[in-house]
């Protein structure tokens, strides 16, 4: 089992070396990156927005019910919602959601290309298939996931405001005061840094599982599952490491 694990880790880094070799035709890679930005990034805005909205709503309501004591000023609900979303939810939870959506999509797309010999076709032509298929996905997720995180933060805070004011647990004025109170801009930087790490993990781990498939459609499904599981575990692990490094 240890040997298999080491083989996987070794294989992952060998693949990364192949991915980061000099592109054959930068213009083709640029076009492919734009395509991936739409496919992996723009198409994820909907799900990220929906989840963030409800996440913000729930955080606000839960904070409100846990701070019912009159000694706590109500604007703390807004502050709590903002910091929870900034520090954890919009980067880590969004990362986990994207590991499911984007990760499985990358693994199954590359895996299907492998089993239908499309990757062999690229190699036969003399194209570096790993770089051509994976590098644009890495660039696209690195560029677009921070945007998704910023969208998630904004929508989450709006979700909290709508839920809080609709449920009557906080006034609009208090909520807006709370989200502005003791704001630390570094928290946004922290969220973006985490997102960048998570984006790299999602794109490369998923691509690795898809690229190494041997077999047929059954293996494509298995690789897709492994991609999501392994990406999620690594996201959680790096969440701890990065939190310690960036906030201590």
Partner 1 sequence: MIRVEKLNKAFNGKPVLEDISVTFEAGKTNLIIGRSGSGKTVLLKSIVGLHEIDSGEIWYDEKLFSKLEFQEKKEIRKQIGMLFQGSALFDSRTVEENVRFPLDMFTDQTFEEKTERVNFCLDKVNIKNANSLFPSEISGGMKKRVAIARAIALNPKYLFCDEPNSGLDPLTAILIDELIKEITDEYSMTTIVNTHDMNSVMKIGEKIIFLSDGVKCWEGSNKEILDSDCTTLNDFVFANALAKQLRKSSL
Residue 70 DSSP SS3? coil
Of 61-69, 95-103, 109-117, 216-224, the window that binds partner 1 (rule: CB under 8 A) is 109-117
Measured CA distances, 162 to 16, 44, 67, 73, 181 (Å): 44, 23, 18, 19, 19
Measured CA distances, 222 to 2, 104, 112, 225 (Å): 21, 10, 12, 5
> Is residue 43 close enough to count as binding partner 1 by CB under 8 A?
no
Quote the least distance from Cβ 18 to partner 1, whole Å.
10
User: Rounded distance, CA 77 to CA 84, Å?
Assistant: 11
How many residues touch partner 1 under the rule CB under 8 A: the total is: 15
Among 143, 142, 165, 151, smallest CA distance to 52 is for: 151
Q: Which is nearer to partner 1, 118 or 165 (CB)?
A: 118
Quote the least distance from Cβ 212 to partner 1, whole Å.
15
Of 64-72, 90-98, 111-119, 175-183, the window that binds partner 1 (rule: CB under 8 A) is 111-119
User: Rounded distance, CA 149 to CA 86, Å?
Assistant: 9
Quote the least distance from Cβ 214 to partner 1, whole Å.
11
∠21-23-25 over CA atoms, to 5°? 165
Quote the least distance from Cβ 25 to partner 1, whole Å.
6
Q: Which is nearer to partner 1, 8 or 118 (CB)?
A: 118
Q: Which is nearer to partner 1, 134 or 242 (CB)?
A: 134
Q: Which is nearer to partner 1, 7 or 24 (CB)?
A: 24
Q: Which is nearer to partner 1, 14 or 25 (CB)?
A: 25
The continuous run of DSSP H or E covering 79 comes out as helix 75-84
115-134 positions binding partner 1, by CB under 8 A: 116-118, 120-121, 123-127
User: Rounded distance, CA 195 to CA 148, Å?
Assistant: 9
DSSP 169: S
Site string for partner 1, 3-32 (x = CB under 8 A): ---------------------xx--x----
Secondary structure E strands in the chain: none
The footprint of partner 1 (CB under 8 A) covers 24-25, 28, 112-113, 116-118, 120-121, 123-127
């Amino acid at each position: 089992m240890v040997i298999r694990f080491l083989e996987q880790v070794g294989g992952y880094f060998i693949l990364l070396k192949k991915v980061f070799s000099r592109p054959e035709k930068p213009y083709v890679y640029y076009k492919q990156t734009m395509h991936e930005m739409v496919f992996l990034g723009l198409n994820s805005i909907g799900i990220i927005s929906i989840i963030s909205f409800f996440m913000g709503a729930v955080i606000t309501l839960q904070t409100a019910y846990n701070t019912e004591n009159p000694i706590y000023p109500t604007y703390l609900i807004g502050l709590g919602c903002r910091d929870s979303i900034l520090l954890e939810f919009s980067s880590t939870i969004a990362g986990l959601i994207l590991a499911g959506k984007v990760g499985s999509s990358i693994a199954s797309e590359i895996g299907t290309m492998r089993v239908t010999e499309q990757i062999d076709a690229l190699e036969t032509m003399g194209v570096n298939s790993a770089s051509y298929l994976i590098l644009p996905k890495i660039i696209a997720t690195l560029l677009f996931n921070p945007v998704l995180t910023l969208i998630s933060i904004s929508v989450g805070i709006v979700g909290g405001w709508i839920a809080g004011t609709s449920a009557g647990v906080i006034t609009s004025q208090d909520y807006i005061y709370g989200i502005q109170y003791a704001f630390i801009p570094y928290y946004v930087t922290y969220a973006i840094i985490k997102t960048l790490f998570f984006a790299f993990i999602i794109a490369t781990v998923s691509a690795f599982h898809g690229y190494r498939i041997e077999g047929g459609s059954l293996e494509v499904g298995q690789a897709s599952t492994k991609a999501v599981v392994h990406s999620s575990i690594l996201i959680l692990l790096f969440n701890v490491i990065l939190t310690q490094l960036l906030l201590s």
